[in-house]
Amino acid sequence: MSAENIKLTPKLSLLSVVVFGLAYMAPGIVMTIFGIISSTSDGTAPTAFALATAAMLLTALSYAKMAKIFPNSGSAYVYARRLLDSRVGFLVGWAILLDYLFLPTVAWLFQSFYLAAQFPGIPVWAWLALNAGLTTIINVTGIVLTDRVNKTLTLLVVTLIGIFIAYCLAYLGGNPPASFTDPFWNNATTVGGVAAAAAIAAYAFLGFDAVSTLSEETKNAQRNIPRAILLTVLVGGIIFVVVSYIMQLVHPGGDFEEAATAAYSMQVLVGGQFYANITNMLFIIGGFASGLAIQASTSRLLYVMGRDGVLPRRLFGRLHPRTKTPIFNLVLVGAVAMLALNISLETATSFINFGAFLAFTAVNLCVIAYFIRNRRQGKKLSIIGFIVLPILGAAVDIYLLTQLSPIAITIGCCWIGLGVLYLVFLTKGFRKEPPEMDLHDRESQPGEPTKEVQQPNTDDTQSTKQTATQAQPTEI
């Protein structure tokens, strides 16, 4: 079988994809950022998380619609290319790369710093090499092994959260709270404070969109990927709200000696020093699942862009004939982590959000574009579902984009500038369309938009519009 005929194989179930999404989001992050959210919201962390869940659901609905219409692994890159413009699609994909390329680095750096603190005899770079190397080996082996490891580690994290909640409830049994409603709203609560905290809490949801990059490896993707996207946000949101509520009962109000380490102090309070140390270590190990899921998703986006020809196809657009995995892409993501060793966590975390919220905004606009094109064809679609909710989702995403630090916005704009220069090169000064993959021998998927033969480096504007308008309208 030639390299060109090797395709991603659908092996993942709905449960597997939801677990991937949750691992990407990292459920344990609610404990990590609880102190900051509680302090910002004046002791109403669960309300802030609930508001953030509602806000992210708006964009999740748009992703679900697009994933059902276009069951491809390219996520926002594919949606924008098909519905907005091929050049816009390229820039959206370029923006996501900023997010996806450095998200694994952030996950691995977090683990490495904590492990180095726990075992000071081993330097951070050694832990980083171990984390990135082991994750890469598992991902290279194949999606089945990745799925099994991911499920095991995510189950470990969820179990640890459950044990922590049990300790908290036991503590509350001997120290009943003065009020069960104050965690949702109290005398110090302000709308502005809750909104500001919700903006921070929204970052905990980054990664739910990565579920769509697994479309071509998911069974019945047209049905399961939209469901997985929504379930990832809903299940993650429920975990965040419930855990933060219990933690807020244990520690009423938003005053902490050190907000960043509030969860660790609370573990010591409810379970003792030994329990806190063991739990902290197990959470670090469980966090390995996040890096595993992020690297898998990033490699698939790079693969689709390579398959399309917007990245060198011989490197990025190839799968290993036996494992059906994009090995070059996986190794590249691991190498980026080592190159970024000297980047601070604050810097890396700040600028990856730029690409995420830009892509979120684009996907909401794609839903609106889909509505307009299909209405012109006389097809009836819900104005609320395809206009009102996407507008609200885009407004939330733009607001979150404006809340990023100046350095994040500067780096993000510079990255987009580089993308524009590369696009000028690809299109020979915008005189032709960016390349797109040849769909001549591609197997159609159930419900996939009309299949067309498209040659790389040709004008695909008309075919893109035709594909978008012929796709069956979807109500989600």
Alpha helices in 377-460 (DSSP H): 383, 389-402, 406-426
Residue 49 has pLDDT above 90, yes or no: yes
| Mean pLDDT on 8-24 | 86
Q: Return the ∠ at Cα 426 (arms to 465 and 453), rounded to 5°.
A: 40
Could you tell me the pLDDT band of residue 448, with boundaries at 50, 70 and 90?
A: very low
Residue 428 has pLDDT above 60, yes or no: yes
Residue 464 has pLDDT above 60, yes or no: no
Nearest alpha carbon to residue 3 among 370, 471, 327: 327
Could you tell me the pLDDT band of residue 4, with boundaries at 50, 70 and 90?
A: low
Quickly tell me which residue has 């040659």 as its tokens: 455
For the beta carbon of residue 400, count every other beta carbon within 10 angstroms.
23
Residues of the chain with pLDDT > 70: what percent?
Answer: 87
Could you tell me the pLDDT band of residue 348, with boundaries at 50, 70 and 90?
A: low
- For the segment(s) 3-470, the CATH number from 2.40.50.140, 1.10.3720.10, 3.40.50.1970, 1.20.1740.10 is 1.20.1740.10
The DSSP symbol for 405 reads -
Domain boundaries, the chain: 3-470
Could you tell me the pLDDT band of residue 252, with boundaries at 50, 70 and 90?
A: very high
pTM for this entry: 0.78
| Mean pLDDT on 461-466 | 40
Q: Lowest mean pLDDT: which of 85-89, 264-268, 411-415, 463-467?
A: 463-467
Q: What's residue 476's pLDDT?
A: 54
Euclidean distance between CA atoms 60 and 233, whole angstroms = 7
Q: What's residue 363's pLDDT?
A: 93
Q: What's residue 445's pLDDT?
A: 37
Q: What's residue 25's pLDDT?
A: 82
| Mean pLDDT on 11-16 | 88
| Mean pLDDT on 211-223 | 85
Q: What's residue 400's pLDDT?
A: 84
| Mean pLDDT on 103-123 | 78
Euclidean distance between CA atoms 36 and 263, whole angstroms = 10
User: What's the whole-number average pLDDT of the chain?
Assistant: 81
Distance, C-alpha 177 to centroid of its chain:
36
Could you tell me the pLDDT band of residue 451, with boundaries at 50, 70 and 90?
A: very low
Alpha helices in 29-184 (DSSP H): 29-40, 45-69, 76-83, 86-118, 124-141, 143-174
| Mean pLDDT on 349-372 | 86
Residues of the chain with pLDDT > 90: what percent?
Answer: 25
Euclidean distance between CA atoms 112 and 337, whole angstroms = 11
Nearest alpha carbon to residue 231 among 50, 426, 20: 20
| Mean pLDDT on 272-286 | 83
Beta carbons of 106 and 352 less than 8 angstroms apart:
yes
| Mean pLDDT on 306-317 | 83
Euclidean distance between CA atoms 75 and 210, whole angstroms = 7
Q: What's residue 8's pLDDT?
A: 72
Close Cβ partners of 126 (under 8 Å, ≥ 6 residues apart): none
Could you tell me the pLDDT band of residue 291, with boundaries at 50, 70 and 90?
A: confident
Secondary structure class of 153 (helix, strand, coil) = helix
Task: Encode pLDDT of 50-67 as tens digits.
Answer: 999 999 999 999 999 998
Euclidean distance between CA atoms 91 and 70, whole angstroms = 19
Q: Lowest mean pLDDT: which of 335-339, 430-434, 466-470?
A: 466-470
Residue 138 has pLDDT above 70, yes or no: yes
Quickly tell me which residue has 């492990």 as its tokens: 115
For the beta carbon of residue 207, count every other beta carbon within 10 angstroms.
27
What are the tokens at 151?
Answer: 């499920």
| Mean pLDDT on 12-22 | 89
